[in-house]
Chains A and B, each alone.
Chain A
């Protein structure tokens, strides 16, 4: 209150903890694993690796802030890769195929939003259902097998050696960064974004104040779906095939990224910077550990510990910080 004027003027952003954690973890691994870890090559590799989860986390951030959850994003990503591969096979130009992949995510998201607002069931249940529906649709559409698509520039979107070389990282990384900025601006500066926060924070109040809760939720799920569709495009770019089994369980990585980044599953809290930091953090840990030859099961245990630890730390920081 009055005794901490500093902390009121320079409010610590919600993403501070995860950004700090990211820096610390990066430093620790650099010391432990040495140059192979912090080499430019490995940095670029990790950045490209984290793009899919990061893109998915952008959409999930919106949804979680509005007090929702979307368990179907992994299936959406798979469906999106299948649609892109099918479109390419059918002779569509790469740009159109890519747009189709993003659009199918938007349609899936809109369906989730529609069901959540119309049926009045909790999003956990609805999206648990659509998780199976979308996965089934992907499998059916692909004829239960991987679809080889002709090689196009779409497969270059996540390359580690971009050309021209002054672009430093692949175009997919840049697109993700642009989208992240866009989502952050939407959250901060638009009515839609602020209403998403309001709904996650106190839905009844938002309703009493005349916020069109249903419409906002529908938009949020749809935008989330579009961003997931983009994640699907990135997945396709990496795999170069349409794979109905792709991204199984990735919804958990995506949700974990948002939560590590300061998102609250009860809504009202979350940030784009935090979620991106969360996605990077998970990639760095996996990459660093496998570089040191740590067995997979240990990696899993450690990742789990880190998720719980990060959220606990964030909570402690909020309780003791007393910036309010």
Chain B
């Protein structure tokens, strides 16, 4: 008789030193079911999935795969037994090609010799199954955008005959257009009887794709059931133990004189961008992945060369290096927190104060306790879940790392904030806190350029929105005049027709 469950995880425990990440979790998923795993940042979702995929050994508890005992000795054994995981942090080898990354660790080979043709064939099939046959197999992945890199990772799961596919926040960097394609892939997997475990902070996505759900809270399961039978506020309450009064608190903030102007700016990836950002304004930039939004911010911040046009900060026009921009009061939050956002082995407090150490210097000496106090202040303000200010950043959960990156920029006290996907990977409750914080910043006269692929937050937080499409930034309009539909049409190129 076949086992009713594809995967059973029973009484799993895992502690990292004093931090208990999993405190006796049960999770059972039948075949052909999409099971959502939700919970606050640091609740233990990624850790649970790392145990499942053999990256970490549990301290206690056991697992069954199709009724057989399952205790993978490492990720390779897990993959061989059909348990495939797509990690929250993009995990690619930048120097290898797309095809090689897709098949890394499971290259088709005979006696150690790689069979290139087979390798490319399998990679091509996997990308085609994703609906992204256009990604070049030979391109080194370092040249791909974050979105395309994620597709490469997804393709990794599809080359194997998977029994269980785990997606850890797969959509935190995908634009809406890619989302429906991803869901299609997931549905296809479900039809083939694959169990899909889906971690996400977007409840609307979970409602759309999942059949069942489990809420984790502080390393324990805090409830679950059928998606159809639970409403959103119930789920949020299970997650954080209370209701969120308002997701997008609107604070009144007057706008003032221009602080950042772009005139016909062209840079690698950007064909033409003109905008005026005023003091106290929250300016949203929507668009598809690869439309050139990040590149525009990076060109403004001096990380990419300006090829044409100019950037004017306050009254000073001309190009500037990142250090000059910071001195002018312009700060950038990079979308790639792992690669360039954070120094992974430095502590939370060091990371948070890295770009602005001056307040903690006493006669040239660093006042470490003042530094720690300031860090704790921010830990409080945006609910960073961490055992203390001196823990290394790599030991924090993904969402909490993102919060540290954001907190550093806020701590730097810039006048103009360039935010590239600032709430990526952040849980619902903390998002509301961050939106409120952004509103407060605008109230104090800061100007914010807000790039996001999550349309509800753009519409809920921004004063004005413009859409970027294939390297061109469109006209801005008050947020109230936009709808999700209008933004999507503009982003896909049918600009004027929609408005």
Contact = CB atoms under 8 A, between A and B. Distances in A.
A169 B201 CA distance: 67
Interface in B233-279: 268-269
B147 to A, nearest CB: 14
A11 B156 CA distance: 25
Q: Which secondary structure characterizes the binding site on chain B?
A: loop
A236 interface: no
Nearest to B268: A322
Interface stretch (B8-16, B99-107, B430-438, B460-468): B99-107
Interface in B110-143: 112-114, 116, 136, 138-140, 142-143
Q: How large is the interface on B (under 10, 10 to 19, 20 to 34, 35 or more residues)?
A: 20 to 34
A322 B307 CA distance: 15
Interface residues of A, number: 26
B104 A211 contact: yes
A68 interface: no
Contacts of A8: 136, 138-139
A200 B140 CA distance: 14
A189 B116 contact: yes
A142 B79 CA distance: 52
B70 interface: no
Interface stretch (B90-98, B419-427, B439-447): B90-98
B32 interface: no
Interface string B66-92: 000000001111011000000100011
Interface string A206-250: 111111100000000000000000000000000000000000000
Interface stretch (A36-44, A111-119, A190-198): A190-198
A204 B94 CA distance: 12
B203 interface: no
B498 interface: no
Contact of A210 (B76, B91, B92, B269): B76
A8 B55 CA distance: 36
Contacts of A200: 95
Interface centre among B104, B106, B268 (most CB of A within 10 A): B104
Contacts of A209: 75-76, 79, 91, 104-106, 156
B139 A208 contact: no
Nearest to A209: B105
B107 A191 contact: yes
B75 A208 contact: yes
A8 B75 CA distance: 34
Contacts of A212: 76
B104 A205 contact: yes
Contact of B114 (A191, A201, A204, A205): A191
Contacts of A210: 74-77, 79-80, 105-106
Interface of A: 1, 8, 11, 189-192, 194, 197-198, 200-202, 204-212, 268-269, 322, 324
14 contacts: A1-B143, A190-B113, A190-B114, A191-B112, A194-B107, A194-B114, A197-B95, A197-B96, A201-B94, A209-B156, A210-B76, A268-B93, A268-B94, A268-B95
Those 6 A-B pairs whose CB atoms lie nearest each other, nearest first: A324-B143, A210-B76, A209-B105, A268-B95, A210-B105, A201-B93
